[in-house]
Amino acid sequence: MKFAHLAVPVSILCYVPAAFAQSHVPRTDDLAGTQTHEQLPTDTTDSLLKSKLEFLSQLGEEDPRYEEAVCYLASLYRRRHNYAEAEALYKRALSVPGKAGGPQREESPALLSELAMLFQELGRYSEAETLLQRALPISEELLGPKHSRTAAILHNLGKVYASQGKYSEAKVFYQRALAIWENRDSEQLNVAATLENLADVEQEQGEFLRADGFLRRALVLRQEVLGPEDSSVATVLNNTGALYCQIGSYTEAESLLRRALAIWEKALDQEDPNVAAALCNLSVLWVRQGKYSEAVTALQRSLTIWEKAYGPQDRFVARALDNRGTLQQKLMKYNEAESDFHRALMIWEQTVGPEHPQVATLLSHIALLRQDEGKSSEAEDLLERALAIRKKFYGAEHFTVAGALNDLAGVYSFEGKFKEAEAAYLQVLALCEKRLGPENANVSTVLYNLATSQFRAGKYPASEQNLKRALAIREKQFGPDHPESAPILSTLAGAQQMQHKYAEAESQYKRALTIWNKAEATTSLDFGTTLQNFGDLNLAQRKYDEAGRLYAQALTVEEKSMGEQSAGLAPVLSGLARADVLRGYYAEAEPLCQRALGILEKSSPSDYPKLIEVLRVYAFLLEKTNRHAQAELLETKAMVYTAKAKNSSKSDIAFASK
């Protein structure tokens, strides 16, 4: 039987290893009325930089236009991700008497806030928070606590706290800014920006309905003020599409993302970084639907755009590489995945330092790759390091720590350390329930992973119970026929199958397949996995013709996704061969056995459970066709592999992922 580990999707920006990362367009920079943050066409940036540098050189520090010119020039550098130049300019402006150490002036809070947002982008959150806390009382004293610029500082404090996972504090500051802006007709775009950031906070905590509500309000405001084709409208469409993709509303997600892409390509340029964000999110969607070739093409285009816009060492390039590595891993192209992950890791370590949560994300991804390669000890070490980084950054009780602990538990289960795995999953479950509530979507994910570990340990009744609770949470949030429920239904069928509850298992398999069909995800590996498992059920019930049909359909799906020589095809080839042998189709079965054996014998590391299964099916076929000596030879070979596998914990169970 084939099943896989789910991730705790606590962040949409590449936080949890098995979750595919999505790209949001930054929203803090969309505050209206701030000249330094206006959207600039990429093809005019060089000329703008040149003209502003010339203009600045003609001004003296006492000129009232000096600060504005410095800020504008710094913002141009910042948009190009030339952070060192931008930081130097902001600090240059602050060093002018009257800006930092001299008498307070109206411009000082704005400068401090600008520099703080630069630090926020660079992951220097403590420095950003210090500057904003310094700017806030100055602004309140000079301009008043209800002034729009004071609200902007409150808003930016919310952004910094959200980046650190301090969501309660972030909400407080966002709401304070919102209360100031909502009462002013001229500030509706700032209201929209704040609503979008509140949506981010809710989404990262699994409160998807609240996030959707905030995004809908923001979209209405932007369309009313700017019209339906404005580039900032596309920002909301993009981010709403990313949300819908995360919760499995694929049709709506694709419509929104394509609309955002069309607006940006028309309003900006086909090589604008925002276009890359939409393409990246479309690739996430297509991966979930099993459209892997389309996803690869979109990811490559987004990577090319970001490299051209920002250079090969930029954090957006790292995100695209991370996504591509995750896709390559899913398709069992481990060397390519390794290359992408390590390049992304190098970028993050150079840009934000070795102790940043983004580094922990990449370490977790590499760890899960090591697990797939059968290198469990290395995987465990990498996840321990990732867990330590998250604990240091967020604190041991922060729910984002659950992501790394969730993956570590998965490695324990993979190694056969079921007691350790269950203890870790229960710790994650308690943390998520405490921080997010017992009905949160992340709680459902942890219950699913706990159930899969219990399944591997042979605790089928306990596994079934936790899967039913996970399913109930999903159905309550998203409805009974939502794609988020399909992986749980598939695994629940497996747990019932192992308890010989064949009628119940068949019902769950059929329901899962129906959901994936409706979601147009019939080329996904998850769909193929469920077909294969359903074939196993029919084989157990001696429904050989139906089993053969399901295996053949699964083989078509998996061949298209992984290629004809992937080691991942061996189980379905073996299942189809067994069904053929039991139907007396010996001539059809033998090439399947030979193909599976040839694939596995070339793969590294050796997957002994799969080799043993294929050898035994082939030996059974040889016995049926009176080739006893050859059958005995294969049985002996299977015994040798059994001895080699005795101390190996790698299971032949894989679970349908999301």
* Residue found by looking up tokens 């928070």 in the block: 129
User: Distance (Å, rounded) from C-alpha 461 to C-alpha 59?
Assistant: 77
DSSP secondary structure code for residue 43 in this structure: G
CATH topology of domain 376-457: 1.25.40
- Of 289, 359, 372, which is closest to residue 326 (Cα–Cα)? 372
User: Distance (Å, rounded) from C-alpha 160 to C-alpha 373?
Assistant: 38
Which residue blocks in 227-375 are alpha helix, DSSP H? 231-246, 250-267, 273-288, 292-310, 315-330, 334-352, 357-372
Burial of 177 from C-beta contacts in 10 A (0-12 / 13-18 / 19+): buried
User: Distance (Å, rounded) from C-alpha 655 to C-alpha 495?
Assistant: 11
User: Distance (Å, rounded) from C-alpha 385 to C-alpha 370?
Assistant: 14
Q: How does pLDDT run across 272-297, given as a tens digit for each residue?
A: 999 999 999 999 999 988 899 999 99
Question: How would DSSP label each residue in 98-115?
Answer: TTSSSS--THHHHHHHHH
Burial of 64 from C-beta contacts in 10 A (0-12 / 13-18 / 19+): exposed
- What is the number of other CB atoms lying within 10 angstroms of the CB of residue 164? 20
Average pLDDT in the chain: 86
* Residue found by looking up tokens 């919760």 in the block: 247
Residue 89 clears pLDDT 90, i.e. is over it:
no
* Residue found by looking up tokens 């959200």 in the block: 162
Residue 54 clears pLDDT 80, i.e. is over it:
no
User: Distance (Å, rounded) from C-alpha 234 to C-alpha 267?
Assistant: 10
- What is the number of other CB atoms lying within 10 angstroms of the CB of residue 564? 11
**C-alpha torsion sign, points 111, 115, 120, 126:** negative
Does residue 605 have a cis peptide bond before it, meaning omega lies within 30 degrees of 0? yes
Q: In CATH, what number does 540-658 get?
A: 1.25.40.10
Domain boundaries, the chain: 29-186, 376-457, 459-521, 540-658
Name the architecture of domain 29-186. Answer: Alpha Horseshoe (1.25)
pLDDT value at position 484? Answer: 84
Q: Which pair of tokens denotes residue 611?
A: 């080799």
Name 484's Cβ contacts closer than 8 Å, sequence gap at least 6.
247, 248, 441, 474, 477, 478, 658
Residue 118 clears pLDDT 70, i.e. is over it:
yes
User: Distance (Å, rounded) from C-alpha 624 to C-alpha 416?
Assistant: 35
Residue 433 vs residues 396, 429, 445, 496: alpha-carbon distances, Å: 15, 6, 12, 27
Amino acid found at 313: Q
Region label for 103, one of left (φ > 0), alpha (ψ between -120 and 50) or beta (otherwise): beta
Residue 649 vs residues 3, 129, 478, 603: alpha-carbon distances, Å: 16, 47, 36, 18
pLDDT value at position 38? Answer: 31
pLDDT value at position 521? Answer: 85
CB 518 within 8 A of CB 481: yes
Would the CATH topology of 29-186 be identical to that of 376-457? yes
User: Distance (Å, rounded) from C-alpha 9 to C-alpha 461?
Assistant: 27
Residue 71 clears pLDDT 80, i.e. is over it:
no
3-state secondary structure of 23: coil
Residue 7 clears pLDDT 60, i.e. is over it:
no
Residue 143 clears pLDDT 60, i.e. is over it:
yes
Between 122 and 30, where is the model more confident?
A: 122
Q: How does pLDDT run across 177-203, given as a tens digit for each residue?
A: 999 999 888 899 999 999 999 999 999
pLDDT above 90 covers what percent of the chain?
Answer: 64
Question: Which helix (H) or strand (E) covers residue 482, if one does?
Answer: none
Least confidently predicted of 9-18, 298-307, 396-405, 608-617:
9-18
CB 292 within 8 A of CB 561: yes
Q: What is the chain's alpha carbon radius of gyration, rounded to the nearest angstrom?
A: 27
Q: Which pair of tokens denotes residue 82?
A: 């030339």
CB 371 within 8 A of CB 410: yes
CB 300 within 8 A of CB 321: no
Q: How does pLDDT run across 537-594, given as a tens digit for each residue?
A: 999 999 999 999 999 999 999 999 888 888 889 999 999 999 999 999 999 999 999 9
pLDDT value at position 480? Answer: 87
Measured between alpha carbons, how far apart are the two ends of the chain, in Å? 18
Q: Which pair of tokens denotes residue 637?
A: 């070979």
Between 16 and 257, where is the model more confident?
A: 257
Name 38's Cβ contacts closer than 8 Å, sequence gap at least 6.
none
Q: How does pLDDT run across 435-460, given as a tens digit for each residue?
A: 888 998 889 999 999 999 999 999 99
Alpha carbon 130 to its chain centroid, in Å, reads 30
Q: How does pLDDT run across 394-440, given as a tens digit for each residue?
A: 888 887 788 889 999 999 998 889 999 999 999 999 988 988 889 98
Q: Which pair of tokens denotes residue 547?
A: 């089993």
Q: How does pLDDT run across 493-529, given as a tens digit for each residue?
A: 999 999 999 999 999 999 999 999 988 888 888 899 9
Between 602 and 39, where is the model more confident?
A: 602
User: Distance (Å, rounded) from C-alpha 133 to C-alpha 124?
Assistant: 15
- Residue 104: which pLDDT band, with cuts at 50, 70 and 90? very low
User: Distance (Å, rounded) from C-alpha 594 to C-alpha 574?
Assistant: 10
Beta-carbon-side half-sphere exposure of residue 408 (alpha carbons within 13 Å):
25
User: Distance (Å, rounded) from C-alpha 589 to C-alpha 576?
Assistant: 7
- Of 553, 528, 513, 481, which is closest to residue 251 (Cα–Cα)? 481
Residue 31 clears pLDDT 70, i.e. is over it:
no
